[in-house]
Structure 1
Amino acid sequence: MNAIHWPEGFEPGFCDNFASNEMIVAGLSVQDIWPLLSTPSKWPGYYSNASDVRFYDNKGPELAQDVRFFFKTFGFPVESQVTECVPPKAGQPARLAWHGWDGEGDTRLDVLHAWLLEDLPGGRVRILTQETQNGKPAQALAATRPNPMINGHQEWLDGLVEAARKAKSLS
């Protein structure tokens, strides 16, 4: 199976916080998942921790390489820029990642949130989402139990899968 591409400074194990969530589900494909993930205005419909999505520079509604966008999550206003966008293509995984940031000085939080989607044999899809974080807020999140990032990202995955199944049943 494939892995996330990590830019320097955001490698798991060398950052202040790391969260990894994965699901493998039958009956869905990367093509079913991608439109719900690559269009941030759809996130609030299936993920309660996402709101107030907007794009800069007349971009959108879909994410693309280097596109800047904004959203709120976990109570943080997050300025973001796409660092990797590889739409679905036969024989290769789809990839989406963005650098997000908020605050200054001791309140500064920098994250790299990455997604990898790949079709597996037997009509299954693998959805992997991982996030690394740096800064004092990330250190506090890493020490919190239960881990809000793991739980929040699992909610995102569960909602994404449910929304994809619903959309597929309507088509």
Structure 2
Amino acid sequence: MNAIHWPQGYIPGFSDNFASNEMIITGISVAALWDKLIDTAAWPGYYSNASDIQFHDGSGPYLTEGARFRFTTFGFVVESEVNEFVAPEIGGAARIAWHGWCGEGDSRLDVHHAWLIEALPGGRVRLLTQETQNGKPAVELANARPNPMINGHQQWLDGMIAAARA
């Protein structure tokens, strides 16, 4: 199976926080999941932890390579820029990732949030999201129990799958 491409400074184990959520499912296509993921206007309808989504240049709501957008999640207003965008293709994994940041000084949070969607043998689809974070807020999130990142991202996967099936 494929893996996330990690930029320097955001490699799991060397960052302040890491969250990984994965599901392997049947009865849904890579394309259907991809369509729900890149359409930010759909996010609030299936994931209550994403709101106030705005694109800097007035484009959107679809994510593209280099797109700059902002959204509210986990109580943070996160500025984001898509730095990996590989649409689904036969025999390859669909990939999207963005760098997100907010705050300054001790409240600064920097993240790399990546997604991978790939077809597996037997009509299965693998949906993986992983995020690394750096900064004092990331340390606090890493130590919180229950883990808000793991639980929040699981809600995102569950909601995306349900929306894609609808």
> Which category of TM-score, normalised to the shorter sequence, fits these structures?
over 0.9
- Alignment match, 1:33: 33
Within 5 Å, give how 1:15-164 maps onto structure 2: 15-164=15-164
- With normalisation by structure 2, the TM-score equals 0.98
**How far off its partner does 1:58 sit?**
2.9
Kindly provide the CA deviation profile for residues 72-115 of structure 1, in whole angstroms up to 9, marking residues without a partner as x: 00111000000101011111000010000010000000000000
Q: Secondary structure at the match of 1:122?
A: helix
- TM-score under structure 1 normalisation? 0.95
Q: Distance in 1 between matches of 2:40 and 2:114?
A: 14
RMSD: 0.7
Distance across 1 between alignment mates of 2:39 and 2:112? 18
Separation in 2 of the partners of 1:115 and 1:40? 14
Deviation, structure 1 residue 61? 2.0
* In 2, Cα distance between equivalents of 1:131 and 1:101: 13
What CA distance in whole angstroms lies between the structure 2 residues aligned with 1:40 and 1:8? 27
| 2:42 counterpart SS class | helix
- Determine the C-alpha separation between the residues in 1 that align with 2:39 and 2:31: 13
CA–CA distance in structure 2, aligned partners of residues 122 and 164 of structure 1? 19
1:169 is aligned to: none
Q: 1:21 aligns to what SS in structure 2?
A: strand
Task: Spell out, residue by residue over 1:137-161, the C-alpha distance to the aligned partner (whole angstroms, 9 max, x if none).
Answer: 0000000011000000000000011
Residues 44-70 of structure 1, C-alpha deviation per residue, up to 9 Å, x if partnerless? 000010000111113222111111001
Name structure 2 gaps, 5 residues minimum: none
**Percent identity between the two aligned chains:** 67
Deviation at 1:123, TM superposition (A): 1.3
What is the identity, as a one-letter code, of the residue corresponding to 1:7? P
Size of the alignment, in residue pairs? 166
1:28 and 1:123 mapped to 2: Cα distance? 8
Mapped partners of 1:108, 1:61: distance in 2: 26
**Structure-1 separation of matches of 2:59 and 2:124:** 32
Q: Distance in 2 between matches of 1:135 and 1:120?
A: 36
1:65 maps to a residue whose letter is: E
Match of 1:7 in 2: 7
